[in-house]
Structure formats: C-alpha cells, structure tokens
Structure 1
Amino acid sequence: HTAAFKTNNIRCLVLDEADRLLDMGFKRDIIRIVEELDKAKTNSEYDPISLLKGKTGGAKSEVTIRSEETFPLRDPSSNSRQTVLLSATLTKGIAELADFAMKDHIYVDALDESATVNPEHMVIPNTVKQKFIVTHVKHRLFTLSALLISKAQQSSKVFVFMATSQMVDYHYELFTRCLVKMPKNRGKLKSGDIVLLDDVVQESDDDDEVVLDIEFFKLHGSMDQASRKDVFTRFRSAKKGVLLCTDVAARGIDVPTADCIVQYTGPQSDEDYIHRVGRTGRAGKSGFSFIFLPHEEQDFVT
C-alpha cells in the first residue's frame, strides 16, 4: 500500500470466499496484508493518554450466533481488529489460514447438520460428451498436440488442465514457439540440414503457414492478479483459443463459449473432475471433455 494509506485504524478484516482466494494463489498476499495490519496494530497500541486515564479496554458486548448460543466480542471502539473468514469448504489450507489470521477464533457452521456434500449428487450436463485417451507417458505430448491441432481447425475454445504452474509455463512456451510449419522453401532443404525453431518462428514471410491459427493463453496461481485478470478477459472475449491452466481455473470462471475440456493430468478428486468438466456445456450448450490416462489407470474408467 501507499504511505498515505493508514491501516492502524482498521477494525474489521473480511476474507470472503477464502477457499477461492487460496485456489487462485492469493495466500502470500493475504499473509502480507495480515502481517501489515498486525504491525500497524502493534505500533499503535501504546497510548499514554489512555494509560493516564486508567483505561485498559472497552466494555464487552455480545452477539447471538444461534438462538441458544452467545459469544462475547470486544468493543469495536477499542484498539482491536475483528477478522471474519468465510469459506464454502473447510480444507487444511483454510484451517492453517484461520490459525494465522485469527486468534481464539470461533467456528460457525452455517450448514444444516444433516446436509452433506456428496460428489455423486453433482451432475455433469448430458450435453457434455466425456471421453478418455489412453496413451503412454512418452506419447502424451504428441497426442495433446494432435488434439489441439484438430480443435484449432474447428475454431474451438479449449481449457487444458495441468497439475502444476511449472507444467503450464513449459507447455505454453513450447506450443507458442514450436507449433509452426516450415517455410514454403522447405523443399530446398536436404537431409541432415539443421533448422532452428526460432528461425522459423521469427520468419516474417506472410506466406508462412502456421499449424495452429489460434492463440495460446496461460493461467495459474503463481501469476499476479493483474496478469490473471488480463488473461481471463482476453481468453473470454477471443473467438477461439487454448487456455493452459491449473485448477485455479476450475471454479468461479465462466466462459460460455468454451466447448472443450482437456485434462492433461488427472484431478485429485471426483469433485475436482466435475468442476473441471463444468467449464463447458454451460446454459444447455454442448461440449467435449477428454482426460489423458496412462495404461495402468485405464481400469478406473472401464
């Protein structure tokens, strides 16, 4: 923040949809914000006037959480900060964040005690055709390239889910630099000639042919917020494109024209699979979903 923005008078910090914030890679930002607020609070706690007047803190008030339960809260006029963390799911990451950002926190479950979240009750639209591709690990890259070429020719908008941000960065660099055809004078090349891919990519001849007449995008949690927002906006408005991404794009992202989902690496759970596939087939539209499987995992789907 800027020097003009003072945080020592902040009395309430709300972390809404904390699970989504963590999924989108904001953990480090949240930690920095909490640390700055704690630092400002520490620096402002010494109040000699209050000490002279004998003030040790404000009176306590109560707020009703449930009809039969009350919890004492500090007077908001005192030099304290109330932190509220809201999350649809309670994961290990959420628990760790709560321990870090709050002291002596109170857990409030807003769900009906009989309510459960069962992935079996989450339905994939029947307009989405689900397919799996069994391939050897060493053939995965070639197979993915062929699939993307096919989808590019159909002017599709494709999500490609990968396990890590490093995988996304690697494949983004690879595809944007290497999925090109040779220049038209390639017939003059003889066996044994060496052609640098950079020379092909940087060739300015307008007659050069590109295998994929489509733009690649990448999205993962290690990117800053401004970059993620820019990528999402451009991908959403593009007529066609390929988004290489981690599970940061599996929830909370609506691209109505997305018609193909590719899971290059498998999900961690049934729920993750459903959320990934749910990026297509929205509002009654049709779509395709492909998942890559090694031979030893084929039995999971047959």
Structure 2
Amino acid sequence: MAAVSGVLPQVPEPRAAVFRTFSKPRPAHARRQAAATKRKCQASSEAPPAKRRSKASFLPAKKTAAKETRRTLKGKAQRTFSPKKPSAGARDGDQERKPGAKTSSLFKNNPEIPELPRPVVKQVQEKVFTSDAFQALDLHPHLISTINTVLKMSSMTSVQKQSIPVLLEGRDALVRSQTGSGKTLAYCIPVVQSLQAMQSKIQRGDGPYALILVPTRELALQSFDTVQKLLKPFTWIVPGVLMGGEKRKSEKARLRKGINILISTPGRLVDHIKSTKNIHFRQIRWLILDEADRILDLGFEKDLTVILNAVNAECQERQNVLLSATLTEGVARLADISLHDPVSISVLDESHDVSSPESEAFLEASPPQATDELDGFAIPAGLQQHVVVVPSKLRLVCLAAFILQKCKFERDQKVIVFFSSCELVEFHYTLFLQTLLSGSGALAPEHLPSTSTPLKFLRLHSALEQEERTAVFQDFTHSKTGILFCTDIAARGLDLPQVTWIVQYNAPSSPAEYIHRIGRTARIGCHGSSLLVLAPSEAEYVNSLASHKINVSEVKMEDILSVLTKDECFKGRRGGGQKSRAAGPQEIRERATVLQTLFEDYVHSSEETVSGAKKALQSFIRAYATYPRELKHIFHIRLLHLGHMAKSFGLRDAPKNLCASAMKKKKANLKRPDLQRKKTQSKQRLAEILRSEYASGMETGGTKIT
C-alpha cells in the first residue's frame, strides 16, 4: 500500500514538467479568443429559458427598450420617463406619407395664453339709415327713379342726408364718416344732378367736368360702376376710368374722344398729364378726393401737388370735396390747401350734425390725433368684433379650422382674410388650394358630410396682373360664398356685398387700418363679424384698440379647433370605430396634428414649395419689423420664436440665416446716423406700402403706373 502510494504522486509530475518545458507560450490573439469563449460559456449558463428568450428576441427594439426603462425606473415617476405614444397625425404622416419625416408636437413648449384685458369701452356708433327718402331732395325725377330701381335704395344714410344738400348748394366740404356708410353716393348724386342740369348741354368732346381721385384700381372700378348706373337716364354724359394695368394707348384714345366724369388713380393721371397732350381741365367743375387719408398714406402727396397745379392752371372756380373715414393731420393739411371755406361734415353718432363754417377753424386749431382720441372711430351697429389668442405653432391650423367651420359647415358665408404682404397671400392661397381642396385628397368627396358646402378660394393683391385683379374682384362681388385672401388693397372703400366675416390674420399697423379692414362687412346697415388673430406676446394690442374706443370680445382657440371633430377625414387611426364617442381635448389635438401633418407634407413635397414657404416667412418677418414705434413694445421682432413661426408656414425647422441681410443693413444704418435721419420720412412711407401692399402710383423703375 505504501509502495502504491509512493508511486502515485510521481505520475503527474513528469507530464507537468514536460508540458512546462516543451510547450510554446500562446500568442495574444489566442488568449483573447479563449477569454471570449469563457465569457460566452458563463453567459449561456445564466441565460433564461428558451421560450422566454425566443419571445423577447421577436420584440421590436423600441418596445424592449421601453420595458427595460420601466423595469429600471419602477417606483419612480413613470409618467415622466415612459416613452410617449405617437399622435395619430404624426403616425399617419410618418408611416403613410413620408416615412422619414417627423412632425413635432403642436401642443408642447407653447407660451401660456394670457388673460386678455377687458377694459370697459363705450363704442361710438353711427345710425346708418335715416327715415328721409330721396324724394325729399330737389333731384331730377329720372335720377330718383334710377336710385330706387337700379341701386335699390329708398331712404338716405346719415352721411347722405347731411352731405347732398350742402354739395347741391355749391359748397366745398370735408366729409368724415364711418366706412360703409354710403359716402360714394353722397358725392356721386350731387355731381350727376349738377351736370345734367347745366343750361348748355354737355358735349362729349368738352372734356372732363368732374375729376374723381381714388387710391386703388378696385375702388376706381367700383366708383365708375356707380356713376355709370346713375347716368343711365343721361346718356349724353360720358364717364371714364384711368388706372394702372390698362393700355395707355386705349386710354389716350378715350381721352381724345372725350370723358366728362373722369375717375382715376393719382399715379396714372400724373402719367397722362406728363405724356398725353390732349388731356385738359378747362371745364372742371368738381374735384373730389375719395379716401383722402389713404391717398396720402401711400405717399401720393407729390402726385396730388402735380394734379392740383395742373387743374389750377386751367380752372380756378370749382367745387372741392374731401371724403375720409379717419381724420389725420395729412387730411387736415390737404383740406387747407384744396378747400375754400368748407363745411365740415362729421357723422359719428346721432348727436352730430352738419357744423357751421367755423368748424374749419376747429380743424386747424385742434390736432387731428386729439379729435380721434376724443371721438374714437365710428363702428357699424351691426358689427360684432372678436379676438383669439393663438400660439405661433397653431396659427395655420387655427386659420384652416376657422375657414372650415364657417365656409364648409355653415351656409352663405363670405370671408375675407387680411395678410400683411403679397407673398403671404400667395403662400396661404396655394397651400389651402392644394391641401383643403384637391391636392392631398384630404377632403375627398366620399368623406365630405352631406351638410358641407364646397370651398372656394380667391386671392387679391397688387402683384397680380390687372386683368386677373378685375376678374377676382368681380367674381367675389357676385358670389354668395367664398374665401378671399388679400392684402390691404381691399381694405379701403370697396363695397363687397354680403361679406359675413373679416379675419385679420396679421394685426393692422394702426387702429385706423383696423377700422377700414372690418369696414368690409356690416355695410349699409347689414350685420357682420370680425376676428383678430393675436399671438400671446401681442395681447396688449387689445388695450391699444380700447384706447380708441374699439371693443373686442375673446374667442377661445379650443372652440375654433373643435370643428375638426366634425370632419371624419382628420380622424387618426385610433379613432376607427368610435364615432359616437364625445370629442375630448385629446381627440381635438390629434386631429389638429393630422391637419398640420397634411400641411407639412405638402410644403416638404418639393424644393419649390419649401422655397415658397421660406420666402413667405421672410416676408412676414420684414412686415413685422415695420410696425410703428408706438406699437414696438407689442410687435417687436425679438419677441418672435422663429422655430414656432416656421411651424405656422408648414416648415419643420426654422430656416438658417433668415435675418442676416436685415441685420447687416441695420448695422450699416447705425454707423451712419446722419443718413438715417435724412431717410426717415421716405422709409416710413416705404414701410407703409410694404405692409399695405397697395399698387402705388409710380413704382420703382417706372415699369408700372397706377
């Protein structure tokens, strides 16, 4: 036993010794491979059962990560860290339309909507119609019959009752009345009455007896139409219109034949004064400046000076009339120059009446701003004014929802939407035309509710050719329904019948401009409504309006967006079979996201549409920078969130270097304060034209003349 035990320990030693002596050292890569094999064996010994492992292996990566997150953070705030389910709109847009695109949430990181101030305001209102009939005036029977049958008017408005007798007496007048109160007929009726009553019958070749100046082409066409109707019984009196966009050759031919009542825009008339030899003013009996405040705002002072000098050189004795909805310093100055011993007619409420000639001294002594603050602006009695505060990201969706609510689910609605520039009009017109009508199939006919009416979009701005402008103006005038996207070119004087809603998508630059915009509805005693869209940082603008006795009531954004629940084509996938379920805030948000995804998919469908959206955003920022100094604390470019604003143009990210050129120009101006002082006045005029986008009389380069 001892021998055996002595032999046994000696057996492994020589083998071990041989191994240590003759085996070569293993290389490094072999050691690493052995270590990896060892770790793999350890992992396999600790692996879960095959059934669990196979089930986990088929889970998507996101779900596996989500479960691990919940497992790790168990007991903590799972609501904060658990991954959110994508909204219906994002899911539809990402998976169906653009698999690689992502629509960020519309309802995250928005500024809080502040409580709007509610100042107590007593609005100044004007009683539009009176009980007096036109038969009470000393007018030609055929003229009265035409007013009753063709124009379908039997009783006079307040401004007509006060103005017509004064003008028939041959007095100069400064007429101030609310927009939509019948000022055009207030001067057209006396002009026609006086010309048809002249002892020596008017001949066409005599030239113009009456000259009517208006600021825009559309207002020129409208005034011409009114005069033409009044002249039906008096065929020997020939009216005519001169305006930009028409062929000068044909206008010169009409001037050679003869025009007795000449209606023109200032720039075009100056062009003919300088280039047309056969235009003369020897027979002028009437000189009328309609919408005089806007003519001056557009920088037509020099043109007016040329026209007044040309008329004064050939005819001294004439009757002059200035008409305006607002009384400004420029209008008062123009009245001093052109009117002689005028009667001031100011129709603001029932207590106002035709003032005596001494009122001219009142206009001279009192600053016009003070009278505006004292009297406020006259608001039509049938007009309801509203305001809605909308975060920048939701502006586009909110506008679309409002249009759908009014024009798709309600009958006989005509809506005008005001923008601050031509580019904005073009962008929104094209976007809504391609998405809400036919482009994306969002509102396919099979999904339209039986109660809905088809949408009709139109646009009007100064960059359009004159033929298209005239066609759009006539189309919207004679339509019972429709949505007109326009600049402030349509804010002055235009009588667009049966307009039910005015939407101011971009806030106006002054309370006077606000009044002129809303004056396109509730005209001549009718009813209408207006909606002003403001950002949370612009809520203070309500107080600015209240200081001019303009009262607005608030509408909640959620109430506007809730209309999307009526339209099944904006339903997300989760809403499949729950038609009877009451719409809650979450469903409204989902549907708003679906609509926003629709817009973004169209904008990002091509480089051209992306470029158009960027240009529109740039145009918005340029216009935003032109608000007057007294409103800069409300509308300042530094208060804009460019990322959120980009969302309202269907862009998923804010474009880079958007304001680089503007900043360079600003720095250059800071280095030259002397140059800045010299150009202040001209810059203010250019800024006003940029915001209002009227077709000016003499554009840069002289290519177009209004």
Indicate which of 210, 214, 225 corresponds to 2:455: 214
**Which residue of the partner structure matches residue 187 of structure 1?**
none
Shift in CA distance, 229/272, structure 1 to aligned 2, threshold 3 Å: same
Asked if 2 retains the 8 angstrom alpha-carbon contact of 1:160 and 1:264, the reply is yes
Shift in CA distance, 20/262, structure 1 to aligned 2, threshold 3 Å: same
Q: How does 1:218-233 map to 2 (within 5 A)?
A: 218-233=459-474
Task: Please say which of residues 147-156 and 231-240 is displaced more in the overlay.
Answer: 231-240
CA–CA distance in structure 2, aligned partners of residues 128 and 258 of structure 1: 11
Q: How many angstroms does 1:28 deviate by?
A: 7.7
**Which residue of the partner structure matches residue 89 of structure 1?**
292
State the Cα deviation string for residues 149-171 of structure 1 (Å, max 9, x = none). 11111131111111112211111
Query: Pairwise CA RMSD of aligned residues?
Result: 4.0
Indicate which of 152, 160, 175 corresponds to 2:417: 160
State the Cα deviation string for residues 79-112 of structure 1 (Å, max 9, x = none). xxxxx67354252512132245565886313455
**Which residue of the partner structure matches residue 116 of structure 2?**
none
Shift in CA distance, 125/10, structure 1 to aligned 2, threshold 3 Å: closer
Q: How many angstroms does 1:39 deviate by?
A: 3.6
Shift in CA distance, 269/10, structure 1 to aligned 2, threshold 3 Å: farther
2:378 is aligned with 1:123: yes
2:479 is aligned with 1:238: yes
Q: How does 1:139-158 map to 2 (within 5 A)?
A: 139-152=394-407, 153-155=409-411, 156-158=413-415
Q: How many angstroms does 1:37 deviate by?
A: 4.5
Query: What secondary structure, in the 3-state scheme, does the structure 2 residue paired with 1:176 have?
Result: helix
**Structure 1 or 2: larger strand share?**
1
Query: What secondary structure, in the 3-state scheme, does the structure 1 residue paired with 2:416 have?
Result: strand
State the AA in 1 paired with 2:274. D
**Which residue of the partner structure matches residue 98 of structure 1?**
304
Shift in CA distance, 177/281, structure 1 to aligned 2, threshold 3 Å: same
**Which residue of the partner structure matches residue 531 of structure 2?**
290
Query: What secondary structure, in the 3-state scheme, does the structure 1 residue paired with 2:403 have?
Result: helix
**Which residue of the partner structure matches residue 134 of structure 1?**
389
State the AA in 2 paired with 1:86. L
State the AA in 2 paired with 1:108. S
Asked if 2 retains the 8 angstrom alpha-carbon contact of 1:135 and 1:295, the reply is yes
**Which residue of the partner structure matches residue 60 of structure 1?**
none
State the AA in 1 paired with 2:537. E
State the AA in 1 paired with 2:416. F
CA–CA distance in structure 2, aligned partners of residues 75 and 28 of structure 1: 24
**Which residue of the partner structure matches residue 17 of structure 1?**
213
Shift in CA distance, 33/251, structure 1 to aligned 2, threshold 3 Å: closer
CA–CA distance in structure 2, aligned partners of residues 173 and 12 of structure 1: 43
Shift in CA distance, 15/136, structure 1 to aligned 2, threshold 3 Å: farther
2:431 is aligned with 1:174: yes
Asked if 2 retains the 8 angstrom alpha-carbon contact of 1:23 and 1:247, the reply is no
Asked if 1 retains the 8 angstrom alpha-carbon contact of 2:418 and 2:486, the reply is yes
Percent identity of equivalent pairs: 28
Shift in CA distance, 247/75, structure 1 to aligned 2, threshold 3 Å: closer
2:516 is aligned with 1:275: yes
CA–CA distance in structure 2, aligned partners of residues 279 and 296 of structure 1: 27
Asked if 1 retains the 8 angstrom alpha-carbon contact of 2:388 and 2:533, the reply is yes
The structure with the larger Rg is 2
Asked if 1 retains the 8 angstrom alpha-carbon contact of 2:218 and 2:470, the reply is no
**Which residue of the partner structure matches residue 338 of structure 2?**
108
Task: Please say which of residues 14-23 and 156-165 is displaced more in the overlay.
Answer: 14-23
Unaligned runs of 5+ in 2: 1-204, 221-242, 247-264, 313-336, 345-358, 544-706
Asked if 2 retains the 8 angstrom alpha-carbon contact of 1:255 and 1:279, the reply is yes
Shift in CA distance, 242/88, structure 1 to aligned 2, threshold 3 Å: closer
CA–CA distance in structure 2, aligned partners of residues 20 and 88 of structure 1: 10
Shift in CA distance, 104/215, structure 1 to aligned 2, threshold 3 Å: closer
Indicate which of 248, 251, 270 corresponds to 2:492: 251
Unaligned runs of 5+ in 1: 1-8, 45-73, 78-83, 181-196
CA–CA distance in structure 2, aligned partners of residues 272 and 288 of structure 1: 16
Shift in CA distance, 22/14, structure 1 to aligned 2, threshold 3 Å: farther
Asked if 1 retains the 8 angstrom alpha-carbon contact of 2:433 and 2:439, the reply is no
Asked if 2 retains the 8 angstrom alpha-carbon contact of 1:179 and 1:212, the reply is no
Shift in CA distance, 104/282, structure 1 to aligned 2, threshold 3 Å: closer
CA–CA distance in structure 2, aligned partners of residues 76 and 250 of structure 1: 34
State the AA in 2 paired with 1:16. I
CA–CA distance in structure 2, aligned partners of residues 99 and 282 of structure 1: 33
Shift in CA distance, 230/21, structure 1 to aligned 2, threshold 3 Å: closer
Query: What secondary structure, in the 3-state scheme, does the structure 1 residue paired with 2:387 have?
Result: strand
Query: What secondary structure, in the 3-state scheme, does the structure 2 residue paired with 1:218 have?
Result: strand
The count of aligned residue pairs is: 242
